[in-house]
Amino acid sequence: MQPISKARLEQFSDGVFAIAITLLALEIKVTELQNADLKNSLHELLPLIPNIATFILSFLGIAIFWVNHHQLTRNISTVSRRVVWSNMLFLLFVTLIPFATSAMAENYGNALAVVTYSFILLGSSSSFSILRFFVEKHQGNTKVKMLRSLVGPIIYTLAFISAFFSLGTTYALLIIPPLFYFLPRN
Amino acid sequence: MQPISKARLEQFSDGVFAIAITLLALEIKVTELQNADLKNSLHELLPLIPNIATFILSFLGIAIFWVNHHQLTRNISTVSRRVVWSNMLFLLFVTLIPFATSAMAENYGNALAVVTYSFILLGSSSSFSILRFFVEKHQGNTKVKMLRSLVGPIIYTLAFISAFFSLGTTYALLIIPPLFYFLPRN
Amino acid sequence: MQPISKARLEQFSDGVFAIAITLLALEIKVTELQNADLKNSLHELLPLIPNIATFILSFLGIAIFWVNHHQLTRNISTVSRRVVWSNMLFLLFVTLIPFATSAMAENYGNALAVVTYSFILLGSSSSFSILRFFVEKHQGNTKVKMLRSLVGPIIYTLAFISAFFSLGTTYALLIIPPLFYFLPRN
Amino acid sequence: MQPISKARLEQFSDGVFAIAITLLALEIKVTELQNADLKNSLHELLPLIPNIATFILSFLGIAIFWVNHHQLTRNISTVSRRVVWSNMLFLLFVTLIPFATSAMAENYGNALAVVTYSFILLGSSSSFSILRFFVEKHQGNTKVKMLRSLVGPIIYTLAFISAFFSLGTTYALLIIPPLFYFLPRN
């Protein structure tokens, strides 16, 4: 197989990122608003709060993946077969994020939905670490620093396990990776 | 963090713009047409009028954002971390426009839906002004002219507030920003 | 306003084209198949025939618009404000084609749906002619040959009018523009 | 007609690929989860297994088409009219894959759904072979090696026929093309 141009891999990946991130909002169901009187109907927005929180969490997740993806590919010009297919595995999990978001938002407090969400985020971050590994290897880096890349997979594994015992812990864990990303780095 | 290439930021943003603007039309519900006789069924199109007006309003809004986004990024070659994340905040509100459009079109005359719509347009235009500020700063402009950028946020704030008192005023205010855009400039 | 780069106009337009053409297939409803026995259930596909015919008609329509759009913009490097906004008007109608397709496919034989479909195709082809006019003018062509560009608008106008009298005539007229496109040209 | 630039053909095709592959996941219906107790509700995931298997099969199918499409077009700079339209025929079938996936996943064990799925994959792989033929001809290859390109169409034809007799055989056949792709080649 001939090497694949990075430009088209990015173009295809950006398409998937853009669609997945836009579909997140599509999953917020329009509540059937029935009271024309605003003061009486404000409480109708309350059931939307878990929806909106989950939406923002997933939006941040995909946005961070996009920035990291950009950082990863910006210095290469061609990609190997392994990079293409670990990128595909990563995108497979990214396309599942709107589904997982919708499942968690519509079934707030349901353990199965939270387990599903944690699993899909775990899959996304793990496959992104695999992608990073193959990109670095393709560039000839013999000693790949993967420590930072393991933060996501480890926290999402903990979130996945804790969902079987305490949903509150899982919700708290799911917020950590985006926060971690925005920490200042020395 | 290394600087991010403008090309890929535009590629990703254009994907989000294109999907959001195309999903607007998807929200127009196909009415269940039941009369084969055209003369008798023309009145079935009447309930679609608020839908179509809202659709055109949102289409114009996203189109104007796209043109302004293009104008903003055309003279830069790389972008800073702040530009990336204010762009993400802006895109977050853009992805919510189809949801807001659907809420307002399907609940015509409902104050809560109009408040939601005004809020999301306010968020879009404010975050675009923030984006503009960081792009200009990244380019080294010490004295950023932001006056024109405040027209949108101010009018949408007025629309948001007036929705609590008079929906007619809000509808009128929501039409101003697109009209203002097409005014000839000296 | 500074001139707009053609590349980004094409990128945005291609996004809209790609989404609109892919959403066409999404509108084909999955019939609830209930007979596991294939011979008895083949007749369940019959109601899908108008759906599939309309799908192919709209797919061809968008595909031809895309090819013509490409031909139109390939020789230019920047575009004027008028080109941008006539392109937006054209894209507005393109985003409505999946809606019109769905309306016509789900309400087979309904005059109102056929009128809607004809109107949206008329809008698409007319606004494309306007776009062509401004692109040619922007390129400095003083004598723009528009004859060929009028074929679509004229046939869709006839289709629109005939829908009030004879749906059979309208269906026949709607098939002409794609056939005309594939005619050999000397 | 002037030759068409490859870049824009790829841009448009990548858009369709990206949307089709992302819509696959949208078709996985969110089951109405009703038991907050995780142990009792795990069996609610069981009906999702055919959905997930079909999702992965279709995801792999589109991903392989994308890689092959990239390989095909990477060495050309312009494309002929025949290439454009065989590409459109190919994309027509690609846009139908989410519909076929949804039909097969939601009607597990239904012969008609399996026939539909096999037919659409047969159409995709056959039209891709036609596309390959015209690309190679456009490049001036007089002796086009098509043997490898026939594997997909032949297996999907067998899958289509066997669906009338034995669904088990069809499911087995549908798994072969992706496996075949990943076989090491000498």
Q: What is the pLDDT of residue A65?
A: 95
- Interface touch A15/D19, C-beta < 8 Å: yes
- The pLDDT > 70 percentage for chain D reads 86
Counting beta carbons within 10 angstroms of the beta carbon of residue B75, is it exposed (0 to 12), middle (13 to 18) or buried (19 or more)? exposed
Q: Which of D5, D6, D11, D94 to mutate to test the interface with C (most CBs of C within 10 A)?
A: D11
Residue with tokens 């027209």: B151
Residue D121: is its pLDDT beyond 90? yes
pLDDT tens sequence across C20-78: 999 998 877 665 555 556 666 667 777 778 888 899 999 999 999 999 999 888 877 77
Residue A36: is its pLDDT beyond 60? no
Which partners does chain B have (≥3 C-beta pairs < 8 Å)?
Answer: A, C
Instruction: Identify the residue with better confidence: B3 or D24.
Output: D24
Contacts of C21 in chain D (CB under 8 A): 16, 91, 95
DSSP secondary structure letters along A85-113: HHHHHHHHHHHHHHHHHHHHHHTTT-HHH
- Interface touch A1/D28, C-beta < 8 Å: no
The answer to whether residues A20 and A93 touch, using CB atoms and an 8 Å cutoff, is no
pLDDT tens sequence across C135-166: 888 777 766 667 778 889 999 999 999 988 88
Least confident span in A50-54, B14-18, B171-175, D90-94: A50-54
SS3 A46: coil
- The pLDDT > 70 percentage for chain C reads 86
pLDDT tens sequence across A58-75: 999 999 999 999 988 887
SS3 B159: helix
Q: What is the pLDDT of residue A58?
A: 96
Minimum-distance CB partner of D33 among A23, A95, A113: A113
Work out the average pLDDT over B80-103. 93
Measured between alpha carbons, how far is C142 from B47 in angstroms, rounded to an integer?
A: 45
- In sequence order, the β-bridge partners of residue D78 are D5
- Count of C-beta atoms within a 10 Å radius of residue A78: 13
Minimum-distance CB partner of A95 among D22, D32, D38: D22
Going by the DSSP 8-state scheme, the letter that residue B36 receives in this structure is: S
The answer to whether residues D106 and D29 touch, using CB atoms and an 8 Å cutoff, is yes
pLDDT tens sequence across A78-131: 788 889 999 999 999 999 999 999 888 887 788 888 999 999 999 999 999 999
Q: What is the pLDDT of residue C186?
A: 47
**CA of A73: how far to CAs of A68, A77, A128, B67, C180, in Å?**
9, 8, 12, 28, 45
- Bin A75: left if φ > 0, else alpha if -120 < ψ < 50, else beta: alpha
**CA of B79: how far to CAs of B1, B10, B138, C87, in Å?**
11, 11, 7, 28
Length of chain A: 186
Strands C4-5 and D4-5: unpaired
Work out the average pLDDT over D32-39. 59
Residue D1: is its pLDDT beyond 60? no
Q: In the structure encoding, which two tokens stand for residue D132, read together?
A: 């390959």
Q: Whose CA is closest to B15, among B94, B79, B85?
A: B94
Instruction: Identify the residue with better confidence: D146 or D102.
Output: D102
Q: Mutual orientation of helices B6-26 and B48-73 as an angle, nearest 10°?
A: 170
DSSP secondary structure letters along A118-151: HHHHHHHHHHHHHHHHHHHHHTT-SS---TGGGH
Measured between alpha carbons, how far is A151 from A180 in angstroms, rounded to an integer?
A: 9
The angle at the Cα of A82, spanning A79 to A86, to the nearest 5 degrees, equals: 100
- Please give the model's pTM, rounded to 2 decimal places: 0.91
**CA of D156: how far to CAs of A114, D115, D116, in Å?**
38, 10, 11
Q: What is the pLDDT of residue D186?
A: 47
Contacts of C106 in chain B (CB under 8 A): 30
Closest approach of A83 to chain D, Cα-based (Å): 12
pLDDT tens sequence across A84-95: 999 999 999 999
- Interface touch C16/B22, C-beta < 8 Å: yes
Q: In the structure encoding, which two tokens stand for residue C18, read together?
A: 């790609």
Q: What is the pLDDT of residue B181?
A: 83
Work out the average pLDDT over C71-95. 89
Q: In the structure encoding, which two tokens stand for residue B135, read together?
A: 């792009």
Residue D31: is its pLDDT beyond 70? no
Q: Whose CA is closest to B29, among D24, A36, C98?
A: C98
Counting beta carbons within 10 angstroms of the beta carbon of residue C140, is it exposed (0 to 12), middle (13 to 18) or buried (19 or more)? exposed
Closest approach of B20 to chain A, Cα-based (Å): 7
Q: In the structure, what pLDDT confidence band is assigned to residue D110 with cuts at 50, 70 and 90?
A: confident
* Residue-wise burial string across A129-160, b where 16 or more C-beta atoms lie within 10 A, e elsewhere: bbbbbbbbebeeeeeeeeeebeebbebbbbbb
Q: What is the pLDDT of residue B161?
A: 93
Q: What is the pLDDT of residue B41?
A: 66
ipTM, two decimals: 0.89
Chain A residues bordering chain B (beta-carbon distance below 8 Å) = 10-11, 14-15, 17-19, 21-26, 28, 30, 32-33, 35-38, 41-42, 44-45, 56, 59, 63, 66-67, 70-71, 74
- Amino acid letter for position B109: G
Work out the average pLDDT over D83-90. 94
Closest approach of A32 to chain B, Cα-based (Å): 8
- Positive or negative, the CA dihedral D81, D83, D84, D85 is positive
Chain D residues bordering chain A (beta-carbon distance below 8 Å) = 10-11, 14-15, 17-19, 21-26, 28, 30, 32-33, 35-38, 41-42, 44-45, 56, 59, 63, 66-67, 70-71, 74
- Count of C-beta atoms within a 10 Å radius of residue B7: 16
Contacts of B102 in chain A (CB under 8 A): 30
Please give the mean pLDDT across all residues of chain A.
Answer: 85
Q: What is the pLDDT of residue A186?
A: 47
Work out the average pLDDT over B26-55. 71
Q: What is the pLDDT of residue D86?
A: 94
Q: What is the pLDDT of residue A22?
A: 93
Residue with tokens 């269906």: C171
Q: In the structure encoding, which two tokens stand for residue C173, read together?
A: 């007229």
Q: Which of A110, A114, A118 to mutate to test the interface with D (most CBs of D within 10 A)?
A: A110
Going by the DSSP 8-state scheme, the letter that residue C137 receives in this structure is: H
Work out the average pLDDT over A40-61. 83
pLDDT tens sequence across C103-130: 888 877 888 889 999 999 999 999 999 9
- In sequence order, the β-bridge partners of residue C141 are none
Q: Whose CA is closest to C10, among D9, D75, A15, D79?
A: D9
pLDDT tens sequence across A143-175: 666 777 888 999 999 999 998 888 899 999 999
Question: Taking every pair of C-alpha atoms in chain D, what is the biggest distance, in angstroms?
Answer: 66
